[in-house]
Structure 1
Amino acid sequence: MNEPSRSTEFSEPRGPAAALQGAADMVSLGAAWAAGICILLLTLLVLLDIFLAFFSGFMPSVPTSTGIGWEYSAYLMGSSFLLGSGMTLRAGLQLRVEVLMSSLGGRMTRFFEGLSAALGVAVTVPLALWLARFCYRTYSYGEVSQDSYTPLWIPQLVLAIGAAVLAFQMVARLVTCLAGHPVNRSSLGAASAIE
């Protein structure tokens, strides 16, 4: 007797839904790398402010801080949060009611996955559009921050891009769910859901 081939039994989903999900995964992966760079820059900025504060006590010529630490820390934190949210969603590491999902049967689980994805689309798409309009308005008015005179459209653009990546991943998740494919891909996560 011939046994079913493992390659066909565990093959990757194919078709338009899988292509859309693959594109969303690639965009989310790039944004997740950018989020990691934001966290690295945030860490370096905080460490620089700590060292400056420490050495200014011994050497009066050293400034007590960078002067932009708090402002840029906020920009980098918000950017890392939104840029990494698409990959977090796809890896299945977002916060959700796992007790409810694990106690339901296959069809009910799929129904609630679809419902939550539809609600996610209803929230994230308008959020991405609003942030893009807000960024454009700030750019057209030429608004800058009070402390560093940074054009505010720059950090707002990064937030808008992060929201767009999350919205794209959410739309792909809904289409993937409706096509009957798995919505989470734990191999994309940097940690397990327990951690």
Structure 2
Amino acid sequence: MRALLDRLYMAAGYAAAFFMVATLLMVVAGIADRALALGWRGTDMYAGYAMAACGFLALAHTFKRGEHIRVSLLLQAASPRMQRAMEIWSLLAASLLAAALSFYSIKLTWQSWEFQDISTGNDATPLWIPQVAMAVGAVVLLIALLDELLLELRGKRVLRASAEQLRNE
């Protein structure tokens, strides 16, 4: 199960990287279109869709590698028992918020598909298409948070320190 979950988080990270490159390509295409009057429609909208997909799909991958911002000032001052209680509370609260985000993202995507909602931009993209990435990213984040919560409850959680701390001056 651990290998499957790790592959899920890695796949989400690769998908986020793909959409980051897609954002770059859409921005470059938009610049080329303006400069050369190529008539490409919707490059700004597609860059936005790709950026949103990148952000949501990267959430779980980044979280599992300890790269999310953590305010650890209170944790460092607390006893080990209190630290564990605070970690459990934080993971539980984050899981509940991610569950709500997942539920409403899926509901929004479904409604956009059901109502055949399209973008108001000149690209007229069916909105459920870019919304799928948001819903998938939210669900994978929920899975990652529940994974960490279960590891914490079982006493097997290993906190990864961000490499950014090592580069601090």
TM bin, normalised by shorter chain, reads 0.7 to 0.9
Distance (Å, rounded) in 1 between the aligned partners of 2:82 and 2:17? 36
Distance (Å, rounded) in 1 between the aligned partners of 2:158 and 2:51? 27
Q: 2:10 aligns with which of 22, 26, 29?
A: 29
Task: Render the CA deviation track for 1:146-170: whole Å, top value 9, x for unaligned.
Answer: 3212111111111100000000101
- Secondary structure of 1:149's counterpart equals coil
Task: Render the CA deviation track for 1:75-117: whole Å, top value 9, x for unaligned.
Answer: 1111111101001111111112122223333322222111110
The structural deviation recorded for 1:185 is 4.1
The structural deviation recorded for 1:130 is 1.1
The answer as to 2:103 corresponding to 1:129 is yes
Counterpart of 1:192, as a letter, is: A
Distance (Å, rounded) in 2 between the aligned partners of 1:184 and 1:66? 47
Which portions of structure 1, spanning 4 or more consecutive aligned residues, are displaced by more than 4 angstroms?
Answer: none
Distance (Å, rounded) in 2 between the aligned partners of 1:76 and 1:41? 6
Residues 155 and 94 (structure 1), Cα distance of their counterparts in 2 relative to 1, 3 Å cut: same
Task: Check conservation: 2:30, 2:44, Cα contact below 8 A.
Answer: no
Counterpart of 2:10, as a letter, is: L
Deviates most, 156-165 or 69-78:
69-78
Using the size of structure 2 for normalisation, the TM-score is 0.88
Task: Check conservation: 2:26, 2:47, Cα contact below 8 A.
Answer: yes
RMSD of aligned Cα (Å):
1.9
Q: How many residues align?
A: 165
Counterpart of 2:62, as a letter, is: T
Residues 162 and 106 (structure 1), Cα distance of their counterparts in 2 relative to 1, 3 Å cut: same
The structural deviation recorded for 1:144 is 1.3
Counterpart of 1:180, as a letter, is: G
The structural deviation recorded for 1:193 is 3.1
The equivalent of 2:131 in structure 1 is 156
The answer as to 2:126 corresponding to 1:171 is no
Distance (Å, rounded) in 2 between the aligned partners of 1:34 and 1:156? 15
Aligned positions of 1:17-166 closer than 5 A: 19=1, 21-54=2-35, 56=36, 62-63=37-38, 66-146=40-120, 147-166=122-141
Distance (Å, rounded) in 2 between the aligned partners of 1:102 and 1:84? 27
Distance (Å, rounded) in 2 between the aligned partners of 1:166 and 1:160? 10
Contiguous gaps of at least 5 residues in structure 2 = none
Residues 135 and 125 (structure 1), Cα distance of their counterparts in 2 relative to 1, 3 Å cut: same
Structure 1 or 2: more helix by fraction? 2
Using the size of structure 1 for normalisation, the TM-score is 0.77
Distance (Å, rounded) in 1 between the aligned partners of 2:24 and 2:156? 38
Task: Check conservation: 1:90, 1:183, Cα contact below 8 A.
Answer: no
The structural deviation recorded for 1:22 is 4.4
The equivalent of 1:13 in structure 2 is none
- Secondary structure of 2:18's counterpart equals helix
Contiguous gaps of at least 5 residues in structure 1 = 1-18, 57-61
